[in-house]
């Protein structure tokens, strides 16, 4: 059974070949706004759809500092990578001290 999303994302970050998910960061922010406005209760389900129809199911629990979001979705491995770290490279572990 397909359950229609509560909301759809109408924007997309463009990276080649493209991001297919509805955006976990944006969904977390949306939950925080809905909680603040009293439009979504703790534990209530929010479904967020991406521009291509993939979905996250989200809910939250309230804390003294704000909310703790819980986001569920599906993912597929679409690549595998091997990093080669050269010990002579002064930035091999990044640029942070």
Beta strand pairing status for 46-49 and 7-8?
Answer: parallel
The chain-wide mean pLDDT, for the chain, equals 82
Beta-bridge mates of residue 71: 58
Q: In terms of Cα–Cα distance, which of 73, 25, 18, 17 is closest to 45?
A: 73
pLDDT bucket at 7, cuts 50 / 70 / 90: low
pLDDT at 19 over 70: no
Model pTM? 0.62
79 or 97, higher pLDDT: 79
Tokens read off for 25? 């960061």
Q: Using one digit for the tens of pLDDT, what is the confidence trace for 47-69?
A: 988 877 888 899 999 999 999 99
CA diameter of the chain: 55
- pLDDT value of position 94: 83
């Amino acid at each position: 059974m397909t359950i229609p999303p509560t909301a759809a994302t109408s924007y997309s970050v463009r990276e080649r070949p493209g991001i297919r998910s509805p955006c976990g960061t944006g969904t977390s922010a949306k939950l925080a706004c809905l909680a603040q406005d009293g439009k979504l209760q703790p534990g209530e389900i929010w479904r967020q759809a991406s521009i291509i129809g993939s979905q996250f199911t989200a809910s939250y629990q309230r804390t003294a500092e704000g909310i703790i979001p819980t986001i569920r979705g599906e993912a597929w491995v679409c690549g595998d990578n091997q990093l080669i770290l050269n010990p002579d490279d002064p930035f091999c572990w990044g640029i942070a001290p």
